[in-house]
């Protein structure tokens, strides 16, 4: 009982620290981990070892992967490559299918670019196209935001899903493949929500001129940094399946090296350097685009590291054995990480923090939940992602970007963004559960 009480107190401290007092999540997670260690009677030397091993272990595993993903997104955004991708999707789908166009544009852009940034970048275009197509601005905005959220919480190389996959030791290629499938299927209900429900809400808006950069990269160049790393990671995952015997192939060492997530994303960074018109200090200097990437990535890396500390502290305390005994007769499986992530998202606002914290808590108890097989680890990452979408409201920074930029009031934001993320998360979880029942 002591372990459960200590864990609940630690979670309460995390929520209050972030939500009530506005303390940076890194320090809250670190202090919660240390406090949990003392409350459960861990030896001082074990607490120190848990801090060092937890932070160093998770950074060694996924620190560079997260950073490289941020670099790709930053260069894509600043070079205009992300805008080229967005315009091309809109052109392919057509302005008459504006809801679908905005949803899929958001879906693709949020893989390399942070959802907040992508929404800021796309809002003016969304407003102009809604006006031109004579459709509800509220509906197209909902479609864009839900498309952004779907990949933000379920598809690497977005930092949150990468961190969760690393903490749970889930195969990244599998997470990418299943994450794409689940998130796409989840958007079916979101599309109906945007077109049939959100579109009924009226929002007055003022058109703003769209500033077109003087130089925009070609579409194929813009897509390379996204498509090539994903293909390499998935290809390595295919070669790693022992049943297919591809690991005996002469090409396996090459595929295994290039498909390692760190190397694949490093290749993605190299490919993004083809996008700027001129490669100069504005790009690669410490004060340039790459320097900006460091500033963006640093908080995420620290939060991820603190999550690793929390997870290692739980592991070393013997929590897994306690949970094993407690849950031996309870068969909730994937719904446990989903509900835990949903609680954390709803109470403290950040999907990334919810993903990392939930993964850290769940990692030591995967066997107790029956989720320790490689395929079920993949499904667990996606279940956590689905939960971390539920729900976006007033304590979520993206909620305020969403409402302030569009001129919505809080009530309209709740009707569209809060309700929409609930639809997304619940739909995704139902799909994940059905896939797990069929495949495992």
Q: Is residue 252 helix, strand or coil?
A: helix
Highest mean pLDDT among 21-30, 92-101, 165-174 belongs to 165-174
Across the range 435-439, mean pLDDT stands at: 93
179-201 pLDDT per residue, tens: 999 999 999 999 999 999 999 99
Distance between CA atoms of 280 and 345, rounded to whole angstroms? 41
430 or 112: which carries more pLDDT confidence? 430
Distance between CA atoms of 97 and 99, rounded to whole angstroms? 6
Name the least confident of 38-52, 203-217, 391-405.
Answer: 203-217
Name the least confident of 175-184, 245-254, 369-378.
Answer: 245-254
205 or 309: which carries more pLDDT confidence? 309
Which pLDDT does position 213 carry in this prediction?
56
Distance between CA atoms of 266 and 225, rounded to whole angstroms? 10
Q: Which of 159, 173, 143, 144 is nearest to 63 (CA)?
A: 159
Given a cut of 70, whether residue 295 has pLDDT beyond it is: yes
Q: What does the buried/exposed string (b/e) look like for 174-191 if buried means 16 or more CB atoms within 10 Å of the residue's CB?
A: bbbbbbbebbbbbbebbb
Q: Which positions ≥6 away from 110 have C-beta within 8 Å?
A: 118, 147, 148, 149, 150, 151, 152, 158
266 or 15: which carries more pLDDT confidence? 266
Across the range 373-388, mean pLDDT stands at: 96
pTM score over 0.85: no
Which pLDDT does position 233 carry in this prediction?
81
Express as a percent the part of the chain with pLDDT over 90.
Answer: 32
Given a cut of 70, whether residue 328 has pLDDT beyond it is: no
43-62 pLDDT per residue, tens: 999 999 999 998 998 788 77
127-145 pLDDT per residue, tens: 767 776 778 899 999 999 9
Q: Which of 91, 97, 87, 96 is nearest to 121 (CA)?
A: 87
Which pLDDT does position 330 carry in this prediction?
57
Output the average pLDDT for the chain: 85
Which pLDDT does position 384 carry in this prediction?
96
Given a cut of 80, whether residue 87 has pLDDT beyond it is: no
50 or 82: which carries more pLDDT confidence? 50
Q: How confident is the model at residue 212 (pLDDT cuts 50, 70, 90)?
A: very low
335-369 pLDDT per residue, tens: 999 998 998 888 777 898 889 988 988 898 898 88
Q: How confident is the model at residue 242 (pLDDT cuts 50, 70, 90)?
A: low
Q: Which of 223, 310, 266 is nearest to 67 (CA)?
A: 266
Omega prior to 391 cis, within 30 of 0 = yes
């Amino acid at each position: 009982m002591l372990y459960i009480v200590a864990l609940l107190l630690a979670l309460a401290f995390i929520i209050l620290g972030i939500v009530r007092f506005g303390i940076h999540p890194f320090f809250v997670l670190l202090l919660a981990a240390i406090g949990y260690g003392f409350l459960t009677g861990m030896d001082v030397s074990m607490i120190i070892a848990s801090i060092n091993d937890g932070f160093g272990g998770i950074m060694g595993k996924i620190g560079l992967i997260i950073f490289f993903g941020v670099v790709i997104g930053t260069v894509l955004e600043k070079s205009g490559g992300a805008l080229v991708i967005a315009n091309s999707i809109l052109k392919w789908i057509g302005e008459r299918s504006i809801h679908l166009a905005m949803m899929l544009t958001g879906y693709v852009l949020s893989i390399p670019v942070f959802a907040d940034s992508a929404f800021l970048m796309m809002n003016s275009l969304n407003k102009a196209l809604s006006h031109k197509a004579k459709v509800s601005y509220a509906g197209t905005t909902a479609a864009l935001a839900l498309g952004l959220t779907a990949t933000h919480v379920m598809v690497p190389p977005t930092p949150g899903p990468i961190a969760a996959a690393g903490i749970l030791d889930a195969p990244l290629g599998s997470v990418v493949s299943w994450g794409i499938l689940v998130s796409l299927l989840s958007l079916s209900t979101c599309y109906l929500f945007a077109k049939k429900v959100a579109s009924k809400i009226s929002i007055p808006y003022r058109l703003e001129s769209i500033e077109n950069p003087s130089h925009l990269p070609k579409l194929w160049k813009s897509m390379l940094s996204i498509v090539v790393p994903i293909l390499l990671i998935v290809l390595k995952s295919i070669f790693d399946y022992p049943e297919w015997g591809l690991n005996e192939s002469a090409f396996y060492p090459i595929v295994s090296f290039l498909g390692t997530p760190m190397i694949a994303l490093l290749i993605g960074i190299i490919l993004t350097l083809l996008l700027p018109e001129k490669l100069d200090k504005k790009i690669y200097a410490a004060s340039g685009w790459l320097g900006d990437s460091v500033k963006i990535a640093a908080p995420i890396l620290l939060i991820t590291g603190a999550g690793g500390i929390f997870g290692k502290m739980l592991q070393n305390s013997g929590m897994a054995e306690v949970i094993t005994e407690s849950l031996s007769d309870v068969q909730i499986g994937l719904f446990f990480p989903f509900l835990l992530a949903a609680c954390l998202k709803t109470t403290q606002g950040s999907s990334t923090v919810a993903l990392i914290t939930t993964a850290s808590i769940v990692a030591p108890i995967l066997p107790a939940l029956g989720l320790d097989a490689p395929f079920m680890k993949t499904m667990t990452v996606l279940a956590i992602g689905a939960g971390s979408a539920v729900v976006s409201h007033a304590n979520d920074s993206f909620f305020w970007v969403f409402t302030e930029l569009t001129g919505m009031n809080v009530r309209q934001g709740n009707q569209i963004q809060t309700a929409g993320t609930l639809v997304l998360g619940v739909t995704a979880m139902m799909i994940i559960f059905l896939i797990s029942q069929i495949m495992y």
